[in-house]
């Protein structure tokens, strides 16, 4: 190496060192640094809210997405919607305190609404059971059984007018927006149910009438006209544009079950493709997108600068088909798109998931081209499902008197890791399996362990690797689910380090 070259190398090295030094102290580089949160993470006193917001500020969070309406009810002291207010929030004005504290620290607040998902016993369901989404057999989602238990969400029909959407949900959102200095409204459950049979909703009376109208299956002015036209082309479906009457002459005599079956399994032409399901899915995607439009227009009248964000599924082409959520159609009415790119939404091991995640984000950047902001949603706690879920099941088996072999099966999934990082708990489970003993004592030990998993057992770098993968795709922001999971998983330091860079 000659002297001049060595001098250049030295100078370059110094320059790099200076740059690295200045980077370490510079402001965070990622524009959107958000978390999803539940009111229980912030408590119900001014002091607990301050402590919660301090934690956000320390971790460089600049946007908080906080639940204000879940399937349990609403979290502000509303007079108009008093029966829906969750008990502890009648006297404590949680959003007022939270928003004030956040704004003091320059943290924006998005108010998170479960749009179409209510609780089985919620006040609106009791007052207006006619607003529930119905399956072909005329039953609501709460009549379904999922994994051996009654389905816990009462899904409301997104389409019916007047109905849940325009009589309850939009007025609720409007009240919140007018009452509080909130920065944005956040949509969640802005879709049809997906974990039940995705094709079975909604066949309420309103939808049975509206789907044929929406898709043009008859002429309201000439409902009994057969509307036959010359079939002068060789292919049957080539005659589609003269809109033949699709409904059978005695449609009005069909039962709900028969109507639903035709709308899902019938064909546009007798003897042609059985393609009517296409129009059913199109109707659902349209109704959900129309809701985002209507709520945007209504709330903007009262609050011209308010913005909207939405938690959506990762692939709008697929979610349009399965849950009526083709979110590409939300673009004019939603400014912040937050795809839930959670670990549980990808198959494969952790490394495979990172590859799939990167692919997804690249696709999402194209699909979301019309949205001003694309912030990628990551579920922190779920990254540790492999370590956590077997212990969670073991706890349930202990409490419910599960068999020793079932308990052993769950234990074996994590035994090696437990023995290394939590030997006391490992020994307690081994003793329980071998000798029996108080199942409740074991369950209580698991409660304690699961509510705060040791860092060795659930390594924080898995979250960091996921976040780095997201950032490497060149997106504007990240939203982490959720503050409760970050606390339980001891993951705040990892977030602070990542957001601080």
Binding site for Zn ion (CB under 5 A): 157, 159, 202, 204, 207
What CA–CA distances, in Å, run from 104 to 85, 111, 485?
A: 27, 17, 25
CB of 165 to Zn ion, least distance (A): 10
CB of 206 to Zn ion, least distance (A): 5
CA angle 473, 385, 411 (to 5 degrees): 150
CB of 333 to Zn ion, least distance (A): 21
CB of 139 to Zn ion, least distance (A): 13
CB of 161 to Zn ion, least distance (A): 10
CB of 134 to Zn ion, least distance (A): 7
| Helix, strand, coil percent content, the chain, rounded in steps of 5 | 55, 15, 35
User: Could you tell me which of 287, 265, 289, 292 has the C-alpha nearest to residue 276?
Assistant: 265
CB of 300 to Zn ion, least distance (A): 26
DSSP 8-state class, residue 77 = -
Cα–Cα distance between 211 and 224 in angstroms, integer? 18
Q: Dihedral sign, CA of 452, 456, 457, 462?
A: positive
In the complex with Zn ion, the residue whose CB is nearer, 136 or 460, is: 136
CB of 292 to Zn ion, least distance (A): 17
In the complex with Zn ion, the residue whose CB is nearer, 202 or 285, is: 202
In the complex with Zn ion, the residue whose CB is nearer, 116 or 268, is: 116
Cα–Cα distance between 169 and 115 in angstroms, integer? 7
349: its two tokens:
């091991």
In the complex with Zn ion, the residue whose CB is nearer, 129 or 348, is: 129
CB of 338 to Zn ion, least distance (A): 27
Beta pairing partners, 375: 477
Cα–Cα distance between 460 and 73 in angstroms, integer? 33
CA angle 166, 223, 227 (to 5 degrees): 125
What interhelical angle do 205-215 and 256-265 show, nearest 10?
30
Give the residue ranges of DSSP H helices in 303-403: 316-323, 350-367, 385-400
In the complex with Zn ion, the residue whose CB is nearer, 184 or 204, is: 204
In the complex with Zn ion, the residue whose CB is nearer, 207 or 323, is: 207
Cα–Cα distance between 394 and 131 in angstroms, integer? 39
In the complex with Zn ion, the residue whose CB is nearer, 59 or 157, is: 157
In the complex with Zn ion, the residue whose CB is nearer, 85 or 202, is: 202
In the complex with Zn ion, the residue whose CB is nearer, 190 or 394, is: 190
Contacts of 379 (CB under 8 A, 6+ apart): 340, 342, 343, 344, 480, 481, 482, 485
User: Could you tell me which of 173, 187, 209 has the C-alpha nearest to residue 283?
Assistant: 209
CB of 295 to Zn ion, least distance (A): 18
In the complex with Zn ion, the residue whose CB is nearer, 123 or 210, is: 210
């Amino acid at each position: 190496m000659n002297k001049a070259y060595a001098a250049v190398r030295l100078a370059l090295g110094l320059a790099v060192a200076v740059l690295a030094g200045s980077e370490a102290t510079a402001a965070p580089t990622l524009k959107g640094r958000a978390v999803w949160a539940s009111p229980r993470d912030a408590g119900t006193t001014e002091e607990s809210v301050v402590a919660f917001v301090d934690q956000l500020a320390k971790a460089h969070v600049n946007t908080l997405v906080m639940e204000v309406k879940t399937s349990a009810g609403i979290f502000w002291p509303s007079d108009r919607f008093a029966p829906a207010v969750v008990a502890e929030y009648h006297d404590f004005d949680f959003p007022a305190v939270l928003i004030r504290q956040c704004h003091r620290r320059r943290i924006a607040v998005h108010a998170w609404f479960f749009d179409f998902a209510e609780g089985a016993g919620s006040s609106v369901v009791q007052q207006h059971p006619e607003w529930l989404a119905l399956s072909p057999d005329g039953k609501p989602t709460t009549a379904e059984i999922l994994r051996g238990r009654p389905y816990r969400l009462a899904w409301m029909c997104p389409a019916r007018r007047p109905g849940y959407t325009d009589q309850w949900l939009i007025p609720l959102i409007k009240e919140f927006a007018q009452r509080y200095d909130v920065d944005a409204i956040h949509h969640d459950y802005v879709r049809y149910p997906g974990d039940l049979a995705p094709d079975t909703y909604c066949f309420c009376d309103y939808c049975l009438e509206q789907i044929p109208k929406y898709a043009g299956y008859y002429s309201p002015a000439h409902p009994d006209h057969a509307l036959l036209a010359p079939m002068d082309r060789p292919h049957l479906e080539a005659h589609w544009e003269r809109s033949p009457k699709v409904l059978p002459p005695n449609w009005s005599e069909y039962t709900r079950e028969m109507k639903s079956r035709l709308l899902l399994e019938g064909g546009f032409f007798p003897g042609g493709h059985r393609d009517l399901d296409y129009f059913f899915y199109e109707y659902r995607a349209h109704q959900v997108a129309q809701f985002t439009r209507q709520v945007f227009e209504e709330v903007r009248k009262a609050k011209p600068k308010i913005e909207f964000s939405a938690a959506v599924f990762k692939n709008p082409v697929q979610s349009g088909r399965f849950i009526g959520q083709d979110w590409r159609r939300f673009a004019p009415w939603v400014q912040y798109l937050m795809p839930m790119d959670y670990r549980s939404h990808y198959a494969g091991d952790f490394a495979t998931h990172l590859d799939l995640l990167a692919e997804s984000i690249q696709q999402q950047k194209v699909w979301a081209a019309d949205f001003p902001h694309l912030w990628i949603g990551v579920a922190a706690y779920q990254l540790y499902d492999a370590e956590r879920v077997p212990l969670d099941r073991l706890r349930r088996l202990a409490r419910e008197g599960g068999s020793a072999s079932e308990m052993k099966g769950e234990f074996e999934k994590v035994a090696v890791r437990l023995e290394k990082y939590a030997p006391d708990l490992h020994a307690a489970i081994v003793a329980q399996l071998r000798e029996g003993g108080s199942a409740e004592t074991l369950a209580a030990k698991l409660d304690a362990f699961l509510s705060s998993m040791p860092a060795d057992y659930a390594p924080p770098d898995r979250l960091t690797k996921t976040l780095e993968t997201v950032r490497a795709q060149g997106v504007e922001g990240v939203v982490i689910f959720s503050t409760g999971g970050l606390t339980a998983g001891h993951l705040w330091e990892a977030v602070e380090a990542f957001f601080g860079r």
